Amino acid sequence: MLPALRGQDRTQPPGEPGSRRLPKLRCRGDTAVVTLSRDELARLQRLRGIFLDDDLARAARTDYWRDDADLAAYARMLAPRIGWKWQAALAESRARGWRRTDQAVVLDYGCGTGIAGRCYTAAFGAGTVLCHDRSPRAMAFAAAALRQAAPGTAVHPASDVGAVRPDVLLVSHVLGELDADGERQLAALLERSAQVLWVEPGNRQCSRRLSGVRERLRGTWHILAPCPHPGACPALASADDWCHFFAPPPPEVFTDGDWVRAARELGIDQRALPYAFLAATRTAPSSAAPPHRVLGRPEVDAHQARVRLCTATGVQHATVQKRSAPALWRQLKKDPATVRNLP
Ligand SMILES: C[S@@+](CC[C@H](N)C(=O)[O-])C[C@H]1O[C@@H](n2cnc3c(N)ncnc32)[C@H](O)[C@@H]1O
C-alpha cells in the first residue's frame, strides 16, 4: 500500500510514490517535473531550514517528518538532487571496480524517502533492501517507493538493525544529523558490513567528517573510491581543505520552467550539487587506482585551468594550458564534473 498523497497526479514525477505508472527499474528523479503547490513549497522551506541549520545534530534530534506530505514534497524536489549525486558516485564506483550485487542484502541507513536505495538498486541490483530510519513514516514511504521501482527485489522497513549484517551499507546525508551516540551506532553497523557506499553534502564540515570515517576504515578496509591511494587523507592535512566534487544536474533543470521557478522560490543554486562520497569494501579491488583524483571545481580563465589533485603525497596543484591542451581546457570549463583525472 502506498503512502497517501494528495493532489499530485498531474505533476508527480514518475517513479515516486503516488505515481500511477509503474516506473522502470532505474533511479528516477533525473527528469522529475516539479510544479510545486504553495503547501509543498512551505514544507520544503521548513525542511531546508532544518537541513541548513548550523547545529543540525541538535535541531534534528527529533523526527521532523510530520506526515507523508512532508516526505512527498522532499521526494519531488530535494531527493532528485541527491539522486544526481548518487548517480555520480555510483558511476565512479563502477569505474573503480564496484561489482553488481544482485543477491545482496542492502541496508539504506537513514533512508528518508529512499532515494539512495533506489539509485543503488537500479545501478547494481539487490536481493533484499532494508529501509532503516528513526522515522517509521520514512521507512514505510521508502519501502513503498522501492517496491514500485524494483518489483523483483524484496523490500522491508527495518526499525531494528542491531543484528543485521549488510552486504552493502548505504548512507546518504545522515552524518550531519547524528550525535555521538548515533555515530557510534552507525560505526557498529559498519563493523558488520561487507561494503559501504556513503554520500554526504560536499560542504567542509560534512566532507571532513566523512574523511574522518575513511581514516578509521582504512586500516581494515579497501577504500575503492574516490581516493587514488590508501594513505592518510591529504584533505585533512590542512584545516581549509575538504574532499568534494560537483555532480552535474540534468540540463532540464535549467530549461524547465517548473524546475527554474521551484529552485528560485527555495533559493537553490541549480548549478551547484556539491557532494562527498566514500566507497569501501572488505575485499581488495581488482582494478588499479588512478594516480590522482581531481578535487572540487577547477578555476578556469581565458588561458588556463587550475586544478587541485589528490595524490598519495598530498594535495597538489596542476595547470592545464589552453594553448597546449585546448580540448581538456574546454572540458574543464564546460563539463568539469566529467574530468576525474588528468592525462
Ligand atoms: C537529510 S535526511 C536524508 C534522507 C535520505 N538518506 C536522502 O539522502 O535523501 C536524513 C534522514 O536520516 C534520518 N535519521 C536521522 N538520525 C537518525 C538516526 N539516529 N537513526 C536513523 N535515522 C536517522 C532522518 O529521519 C532522515 O530521514
The atom number, within ligand 1, closest to the CA of 199 reads 8
**Looking at residue 6, what is its pLDDT?**
26
Quick check: CB of 178 below 6 Å from ligand 1? yes
Return the residue whose CA atom lies nearest to atom 27 of ligand 1.
112
Per-chain mean pLDDT for the chain: 88
Q: Nearest-CA neighbor of 103 among 131, 126, 130, 129?
A: 126
**8-state DSSP, 134:** S
pLDDT digits (tens, 9 = 90+) for 109-142: 999 999 999 999 999 999 999 999 999 999 999 9
Quick check: CB of 135 below 6 Å from ligand 1? yes
Best mutation site among 133, 146, 189 for ligand 1 pocket (most ligand atoms within 8 Å of CB): 133
Find the 172 Cα to ligand 1 centroid distance in Å: 8
DSSP letters spanning 216-269: HHTTTSEEEES-SSSS--GGGTSTT----EEPPPPTHHHH-HHHHHHHHHHT--
Q: Nearest-CA neighbor of 246 among 189, 207, 287, 188?
A: 207
Peptide bond into 23 cis (omega under 30): no
Place of cell 587541485: 308
Tallying the residues shown for the chain, one arrives at 343
Quick check: CB of 111 below 6 Å from ligand 1? yes
Quick check: CB of 79 below 6 Å from ligand 1? yes
**Looking at residue 58, what is its pLDDT?**
60
Work out the pLDDT band at 7, boundaries 50, 70, 90.
Answer: very low
pLDDT digits (tens, 9 = 90+) for 229-281: 999 999 999 998 999 999 999 988 999 888 899 999 999 998 889 999 999 99
Q: How far apart are CA 185 and CA 175, in angstroms?
A: 12
Find the 112 Cα to ligand 1 centroid distance in Å: 5
Q: How far apart are CA 86 and CA 77, in angstroms?
A: 15
Quick check: CB of 134 below 6 Å from ligand 1? yes
Place of cell 514500485: 148
Quick check: CB of 161 below 6 Å from ligand 1? no
What's this model's pTM, rounded to 2 decimal places?
A: 0.90
Quick check: CB of 85 below 6 Å from ligand 1? no
Delineate the domains of the chain, giving CATH numbers in brackets.
38-289 (3.40.50.150), 291-343 (no CATH)
The atom number, within ligand 1, closest to the CA of 108 reads 6
Q: How far apart are CA 113 and CA 140, in angstroms?
A: 9
Q: How far apart are CA 98 and CA 96, in angstroms?
A: 6
Q: How far apart are CA 27 and CA 48, in angstroms?
A: 23
> Strand, helix or coil at 59?
helix
The atom number, within ligand 1, closest to the CA of 135 reads 25
Three cell numbers at 279? 566507497
Q: How far apart are CA 35 and CA 270, in angstroms?
A: 16
Quick check: CB of 114 below 6 Å from ligand 1? no
